[in-house]
């Protein structure tokens, strides 16, 4: 029974990179790095070698081959050599009668790991590489030990036949399969987040074209009047002032639009939520007008400071307001209202619409990746928004009824 526990413990060590990846990169807008692979593999290698599986003093078994192969596969050959040096130093420190055997086995398995990893990204059926690696890392140690220590192999046949395949075959298959799935999902998530953002910007750009055209038409008309030279100096000066104001308004509209389209940053700072919301409302008002939706917002007199990423904050506000506008577009007297509420050390931002609403099942799945209540949506806009709110130590709640509207309440801690 103790041997089974130790085998399961080694499998847990082999899955540690996958677990740490899902914890560390869950809310980050980037994928894994080689530094992350080096750190996690080094940590797992030390753990597995510190708590090894053994049935005879001096001969220890762990998931070293799994970790080193995984490190080479996802971190490159440099990562593999770092793990190799780490293993040699620590194995010499542990010592025992199996030290020389361990170094001989690694002298065979390490070049094999580099060779297999080079084929992994070249062939279509990658599971064959995983299968060959698992079988090879199970057979090679047994063969080497049978040559150097035949008595040990013959007296522990059952253990070696069971422990090696479970450690290496199952360990490699689980780790690489699960890690690959997580990395692929993360890449799709990042790609769709970018596409969702581009789509939102394109739609807002279409509405901004109408908003920008109005002041440009005004300026053009005044310039023609001034050019005709039929006005007095007072009217000419007044028309010039109005034209300058319209140009400044156009410049502000474009600046607000560009501030939303900036790429996401990873740092947080003190930001005024009132200023952020005013900017987004000004940008989204033309889009609301195009959909015959009234967009209203009430602002507190004093600034409301929170800690967060200003670009992420603007983007998530755009996502919620855009969704509210689209949900209300087909309703009579369509309306979207936004208001602030403050309670103790938190601020609540309520975004309410009188749109089509949602049922209980739809509300429970909001924020899930690839789920959307719109036939053409991916749901990744809300997925990003939910993660951004959590990254600022905030919470999000929703109340909705079918054909009675929806209220999203974003709660954030004050700075």
Helix ranges, 262-301 (H): 273-290
By three-state DSSP, how is residue 249 classified? helix
Please return the burial class of 398, using the count of CB atoms within 10 Å of its CB with bins 0-12, 13-18 and 19+.
middle
Residue whose entry in the numeric block shows the structure tokens 């526990």:
5
- The predicted model scores a pTM of 0.54
The CA distance from 82 to 60, in Å, is: 21
* Number of Cα atoms under 13 Å in the Cβ half of residue 367: 15
Task: Name the domain count of the chain.
Answer: 2
Asked whether residue 24 is assigned to any structural domain, the reply reads yes
Looking at the fold, whether 13 and 116 belong to one and the same domain comes out as yes
Backbone angles phi, psi at 109, to 5 degrees: -75, -30
Give me the average pLDDT of each 10-residue run along the chain (415 residues): 76 88 79 90 91 78 89 91 92 86 91 91 85 89 87 80 80 89 83 69 64 72 75 77 77 62 62 89 83 90 88 84 88 91 87 88 67 52 79 88 89 90
Question: Beta partners for 297?
Answer: 338
Cβ count within 10 A of residue 225 = 14
The CA distance from 208 to 212, in Å, is: 6
Asked whether residue 235 is assigned to any structural domain, the reply reads no
What is the predicted pLDDT for the residue at 370? Answer: 45
By three-state DSSP, how is residue 359 classified? coil
Residue 411 neighbours by CB under 8 Å, 6+ apart: 346, 347, 348, 349, 394, 395, 396, 397
Looking at the fold, whether 179 and 281 belong to one and the same domain comes out as no
Looking at the fold, whether 176 and 285 belong to one and the same domain comes out as no
Residue 52 neighbours by CB under 8 Å, 6+ apart: 6, 10, 60, 61, 62
Looking at the fold, whether 18 and 142 belong to one and the same domain comes out as yes
- Among residues 186, 215, 244, which one ends one of the domains? 186
* Tokens coding 271: 């930001």
Look at the alpha carbons of 252, 254, 255, 260 in this order and tell me if their dihedral is positive or negative.
positive
As separate numbers, helices (DSSP H) first and strands (DSSP E) second, the chain gives 15, 9
What is the predicted pLDDT for the residue at 25? Answer: 81
What is the predicted pLDDT for the residue at 1? Answer: 57
Look at the alpha carbons of 369, 374, 378, 384 in this order and tell me if their dihedral is positive or negative.
negative
The CA distance from 17 to 272, in Å, is: 39
Looking at the fold, whether 168 and 22 belong to one and the same domain comes out as yes
The CA distance from 330 to 164, in Å, is: 64
Calculate the alpha carbon distances from 284 to 23, 208, 295 in Å.
Answer: 35, 8, 8
What is the predicted pLDDT for the residue at 378? Answer: 47
Strands 294-297 and 335-343 come out as: parallel
Asked whether residue 207 is assigned to any structural domain, the reply reads no
> Residue 145's domain spans which residues?
2-186
Asked whether residue 111 is assigned to any structural domain, the reply reads yes
Backbone angles phi, psi at 29, to 5 degrees: -95, 30
pLDDT in tens, 138-194: 889 888 888 988 888 888 877 777 777 777 888 888 899 899 888 888 888 777 767
The CA distance from 395 to 371, in Å, is: 19
Strands 269-272 and 305-308 come out as: antiparallel
Looking at the fold, whether 9 and 154 belong to one and the same domain comes out as yes
| DSSP per-residue letters across 360-392 | HHHHHHTTSTT--SSTT--SHHHHHHHHHHHHT
Looking at the fold, whether 181 and 270 belong to one and the same domain comes out as no
Looking at the fold, whether 407 and 291 belong to one and the same domain comes out as yes
Looking at the fold, whether 37 and 160 belong to one and the same domain comes out as yes
- Can you say whether residue 58 is alpha, beta or left, with left for phi > 0 and alpha for psi between -120 and 50 degrees? left
Short-list 311, 41, 83, 26, CA closest to 176: 41
Asked whether residue 21 is assigned to any structural domain, the reply reads yes
* Tokens coding 37: 């692979």
Short-list 156, 127, 179, CA closest to 61: 156
Residue 368 · residue 381 · CB < 8 Å: no
Asked whether residue 206 is assigned to any structural domain, the reply reads no
Asked whether residue 12 is assigned to any structural domain, the reply reads yes
Angle between helices 273-290 and 233-261 (to 10 degrees): 100
- Among residues 156, 186, 216, which one ends one of the domains? 186
What is the predicted pLDDT for the residue at 200? Answer: 63
What is the predicted pLDDT for the residue at 376? Answer: 47
What is the predicted pLDDT for the residue at 219? Answer: 78
Q: Supply the CATH number for residue 273's domain.
A: 3.30.565.10
The CA distance from 196 to 322, in Å, is: 12
- Among residues 186, 219, 243, which one ends one of the domains? 186
Asked whether residue 242 is assigned to any structural domain, the reply reads no
Residue 292 · residue 334 · CB < 8 Å: yes
| DSSP per-residue letters across 177-199 | HHHHHHHHHHHHHHHHHHHHHHH
């Amino acid at each position: 029974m103790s041997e089974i526990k130790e085998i399961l413990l080694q499998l847990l060590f082999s899955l540690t990179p996958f677990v740490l990846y899902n914890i560390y990169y869950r809310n980050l807008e980037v994928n894994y790095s080689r530094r992350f692979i080096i750190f996690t593999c080094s940590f797992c290698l030390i753990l597995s070698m510190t708590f090894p599986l053994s049935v005879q003093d001096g001969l220890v078994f762990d998931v070293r081959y799994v970790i080193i192969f995984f490190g080479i596969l996802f971190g490159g050959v440099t990562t593999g050599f770092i793990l190799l040096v780490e293993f040699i130093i620590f194995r010499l420190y542990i010592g025992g009668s199996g030290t020389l055997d361990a170094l001989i086995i690694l002298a065979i398995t390490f070049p094999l790991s580099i060779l297999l990893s080079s084929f992994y990204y070249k062939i279509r059926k990658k599971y064959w590489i995983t299968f060959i690696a698992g079988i090879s890392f199970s057979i090679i140690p047994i063969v080497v030990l049978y040559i150097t220590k035949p008595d040990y192999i013959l007296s522990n046949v059952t253990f070696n036949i069971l422990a090696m395949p479970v450690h290496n075959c199952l360990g490699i298959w689980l780790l690489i399969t699960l890690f690959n799935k997580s990395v692929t999902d993360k890449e799709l998530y990042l790609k769709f987040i970018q596409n969702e953002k581009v789509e939102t910007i394109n739609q807002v750009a279409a509405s901004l074209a109408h908003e920008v055209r109005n002041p440009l038409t005004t300026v053009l008309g005044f310039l023609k009047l001034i050019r005709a030279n039929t006005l007095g100096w007072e009217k000419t000066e007044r028309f010039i002032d109005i034209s300058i104001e319209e140009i400044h308004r156009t410049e502000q509209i474009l600046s607000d639009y560009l501030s939303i389209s900036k790429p996401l940053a990873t740092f947080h700072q003190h930001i005024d939520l009132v200023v952020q919301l005013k900017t987004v409302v000004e940008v989204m008002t033309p889009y609301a007008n195009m959909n015959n939706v009234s967009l209203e917002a009430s602002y507190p007199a004093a600034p409301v400071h929170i800690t967060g990423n200003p670009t992420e904050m603007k983007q998530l506000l755009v996502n919620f307001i855009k969704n509210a506008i689209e949900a209300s577009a087909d309703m009579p007297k369509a309306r979207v209202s936004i208001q602030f509420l403050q309670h103790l050390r938190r601020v609540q931002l309520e975004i309410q619409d009188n749109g089509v609403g949602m049922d209980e099942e739809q509300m429970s799945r909001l924020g899930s990746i690839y789920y959307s209540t719109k036939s053409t949506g991916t749901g990744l806009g809300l997925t990003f928004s939910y993660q951004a709110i959590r990254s600022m130590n905030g919470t999000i709640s929703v109340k909705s009824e079918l054909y009675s509207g929806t209220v999203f309440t974003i709660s954030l801690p004050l700075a």
